[in-house]
Amino acid sequence: MAPSAVTDGFHIVVDALKLNEIDTIYGVAGIPITDLARLAQAEGMRYFGFRHEQSAGYAAGIAGYLTRKPGICLTVSAPGFLNGMVALANATVNGFPMIQISGSSDRAIVDLQQGDYEELDQMNAAKPYTKAAFRVNRPQDIGTGVARAIRAALSGRPGGVYLDLTADVLSATLEADAAAQSLVKVVDPAPRHIPSSESVQRAIRLLAGAERPLIILGKGAAYSQADNEIRKWIETTGVPFLPMSMAKGLLPDNHPQSAAAARSFVLGQADVVMLIGARLNWLLAHGKGPQWSPTAKFVQVDIEATEIDSNRPIAAPIVADIGSAMSCLLEAAKPGQIKPSAAWLDAIAKRKQQNAERMRAHLDANPVPMNFYSALRAIRDVLADRPDIYVVNEGANTLDFGRNIIDMHAPRRRLDSGTWGVMGIGMGYAIGAAVVSGKPVVAIEGDSALGFSGMEIETICRYRLPIVIAVFNNGGIYRGDDINRGGGADPAPTVLMKEARYDKLIEAFGGAGYHVTAPENLQQALSEALASGKPALINCVIDPKAGTESGHIQKLNPKSSLSKS
C-alpha cells in the first residue's frame, strides 16, 4: 500500500485562510512563523512585511474595517506578539474585525516558566484586550481555530481576535485527507440582525413627535456599508445629520442636510437624537453635560445590545444591523410622518452660515509661517476633485483641524486616530488602505504622530505604494515653542526638532521628498506627488506657535501650577 500523503500545520493554516477567502497577511517574520509567511506567499496570498508589528496590526485592522473581512496580522512569539497587541486592542475598541495570529513557544516549558526562547503565556495575556482568544494545540484543530476566530471577529460588533499557534502545531504533520476534512468554511459569519417591529415603531413615534431631530452617524454606520439605505433614510425624513469623524463622507460633507458646521448648536438644541452606529462615549461628552440638552431623548441603532443605556437612558433602542434597521424604518415610516420643524432647519442654516464665514476668514489668511488653516486649505483644494483618495489623519491640532477642514465626499475614505485617540496608526492605516483599495492615500500627520510609525516609510517604498505623507512640522507635540521650566539646556517635554527634514527620510528609500514653507508650494508638491503615483513625503513647515495644547480636548488635560502661570 502506498503511504498516504502528509501535510503539516503550516500548510493547514494557509489552506484554512484561503478556504475562507482571506488573501492578505500583514506581519513581521521570525521564529516560528517565517515559513508560514513564505508558504502563504508561495500559495498566492499577499504578504506585507513590516518593520514593527504594531504597524502591521494597524494595517490589518483598517483592512478589516474597509473590507468587512478580518485583517490578518502575523507575529512572532512574546515581544512580537506584544508589539502587535496594541493594534489588536485598538481594533477591539474601534470595532474593526482583525485576527492576530501569533506563533508561540513550547507550552510545557511556558507553563512551568522554565525560560523558553521568547516565553510568554500569550493567549492569557491577550484575553483582556480582545473580543476572543483561542489557542490551537493539535494540527487537526487548526481549521476549527481559524473558523472560530473569523466568526468571533466578524459577528455582532466586530473586534480583535487572538489566535495562538504553537510552534509544535505548525510543524506537526497530519495525513492530507484528514487535514482537508478538518477545514471549516465559515457560513454567514455576520448574519443580518433584523430589528423587532416594536422597536422600529417606537423609534418612529419618538422621531415623529420631534421638532428638532438630529441624526448622528458613527463609524459603525460607515462599517455597515448600508450607504444607500442610510442616505435614503436621511433624505426622506429630512432630518439634519452630524457625521462622527470616520463617518464623514457617508453622505458628502457639502450635503445640504449636514449640520457639521453647526455641531455645538445642534447637540445643544436637538430634542430627539438618533444615533446610528455611534457610541455616546467621550467623543460625544457621554451624551451629558453642558453640550447637550438635558431633556433630549435618544433613538439608538446598534448591533450590540449592551451598548444601549451605557451613558444616558435610551428611549428607543433598535438592536439590529444597520442595513436591516434602515430598511425596516424606511418601510414602516409613513410619508411626512417625521418632519423637522422649519424653524429648526432655518436656525441650523443660519448657524452654519455664520460659522462658515468665520472659518473662511481663517482659511483665506496667508500667515508666514504657515499655520494649520492655510496648510490644510492647500491640501483641501487638491483633494476637492479626488473623492476616491483615502485620507489618514493623526496628531492633535493636525487631527482636529484636519477633520474640520478636509471635506469628505465618499464613504469610508477618512481614517484617523479613532476611539482611543491613538498616535501611531498613520503608516499602518495608510498601507492597509492602499493595499485593499489600490487607490492613493494622503496621510496628514503631526510631526510627533509620524514618529510612532515613521520607519514604515521604508515599507511604503519597498512595496511602491501610492502614499503621500504630509508632515505638519510645528516642532513638537501640540506646539514647538515650549521651554524647559527648570531653565536647563534639555528641550521641554513637548518639543521636537523644528529643523527636522522629514523629507530626507523618504529620500533614503528612493521616494520623493519635498520641503515646503508656503501653501502654494504645498499644493503643487501634493499635486505632483499624487500624479506620480509614487511614495512621497512633504515636510510642511508650520508655525511652532500655531497649535493649542491637546488640540480640541484641552478640557481633558489636568494641569499643574506650571501651566497656570
Q: Which residues bind ligand ADP (CB under 6 A)?
A: 94-95, 157, 218-220, 223-224, 244, 246-247, 277-279, 281, 283, 302-304, 307, 321-322, 419
Instruction: Give the residue with the Cβ less far from ligand ADP, 164 or 394.
Output: 394
Choosing from 229, 447, 503, 543, the residue that interacts with Mg ion (CB under 5 A) is 447
Distance CA 383, CA 385 (A): 5
Contact criterion met (CB below 8 Å) for 194 and 320: yes
Instruction: Give the residue with the Cβ less far from ligand ADP, 135 or 279.
Output: 279
Distance CA 526, CA 530 (A): 6
368 is written with which cell numbers? 508666514
Provide, rounded to whole angstroms, the least separation between the CB of residue 225 and ligand ADP. 8
Provide, rounded to whole angstroms, the least separation between the CB of residue 521 and ligand TPW. 19
Provide, rounded to whole angstroms, the least separation between the CB of residue 186 and ligand ADP. 17
Instruction: Give the residue with the Cβ less far from ligand TPW, 121 or 482.
Output: 482
Provide, rounded to whole angstroms, the least separation between the CB of residue 427 and Mg ion. 16
CA neighbours closer than 13 Å in the CB half-sphere of residue 510: 9
Q: In sequence order, which residues have a C-beta less than 8 Å from that of residue 334 and are 6 or more positions away?
A: none
Q: What letter represents residue 268's amino acid? A: G
Instruction: Give the residue with the Cβ less far from ligand TPW, 277 or 476.
Output: 476
Task: Please give the distance of CA 304 from its chain centroid, rounded to a whole number.
Answer: 19
281 binds, among ligand TPW, Mg ion, ligand ADP, none (CB under 5 to 8 A by kind): ligand ADP
314 binds, among ligand ADP, Mg ion, ligand TPW, none (CB under 5 to 8 A by kind): none
Q: Which of 431, 440, 494 is nearest to 459 (CA)?
A: 431
Q: Can residue 394 be called a binding residue for Mg ion (CB under 5 A)? A: no
Q: Please tell me what DSSP assigns to residue 128.
A: G
Provide, rounded to whole angstroms, the least separation between the CB of residue 133 and ligand ADP. 20
396 binds, among Mg ion, ligand ADP, ligand TPW, none (CB under 5 to 8 A by kind): ligand TPW
Instruction: Give the residue with the Cβ less far from ligand TPW, 213 or 547.
Output: 547
Choosing from 418, 446, 466, 513, the residue that interacts with Mg ion (CB under 5 A) is 446
Q: Which of 497, 543, 502, 496 is nearest to 519 (CA)?
A: 543
249 binds, among ligand TPW, Mg ion, ligand ADP, none (CB under 5 to 8 A by kind): none
Instruction: Give the residue with the Cβ less far from ligand ADP, 281 or 521.
Output: 281
Provide, rounded to whole angstroms, the least separation between the CB of residue 520 and ligand TPW. 21
Q: Can residue 402 be called a binding residue for Mg ion (CB under 5 A)? A: no
Distance CA 33, CA 77 (A): 9
Q: Which of 67, 69, 63 is nearest to 50 (CA)?
A: 63
Instruction: Give the residue with the Cβ less far from ligand TPW, 71 or 446.
Output: 446
Instruction: Give the residue with the Cβ less far from ligand TPW, 68 or 380.
Output: 380
Provide, rounded to whole angstroms, the least separation between the CB of residue 545 and Mg ion. 12
Task: Output the 3-class SS for 386-397.
Answer: CCCCEEEEECCH
**Cis amide linkage into residue 519, ω under 30° from 0:** no
304 binds, among ligand ADP, ligand TPW, Mg ion, none (CB under 5 to 8 A by kind): ligand ADP
Vertex 549 angle, CA 546 and 555, to 5° = 135
Task: Output the 3-class SS for 302-314.
Answer: ECCHHHCCCCCCC
Provide, rounded to whole angstroms, the least separation between the CB of residue 395 and ligand ADP. 18
Sheet containing 536-541, strands listed edge to edge, beginning at the edge strand earlier in sequence: 414-416, 390-394, 441-446, 467-473, 536-541, 512-516
Instruction: Give residues 473-512 in contact with Mg ion (rule: CB under 5 A).
Output: 474
Instruction: Give the residue with the Cβ less far from ligand TPW, 298 or 429.
Output: 429
Distances from the Cα of 13 to the Cα of 84, 138, 150, 486, angstroms: 19, 12, 13, 57
Query: Residue numbers of the site for ligand TPW (CB under 6 A)?
Result: 395-398, 421-424, 446-449, 472, 474, 476-478, 547, 551
Residues that bind Mg ion (CB under 5 A): 446-448, 474
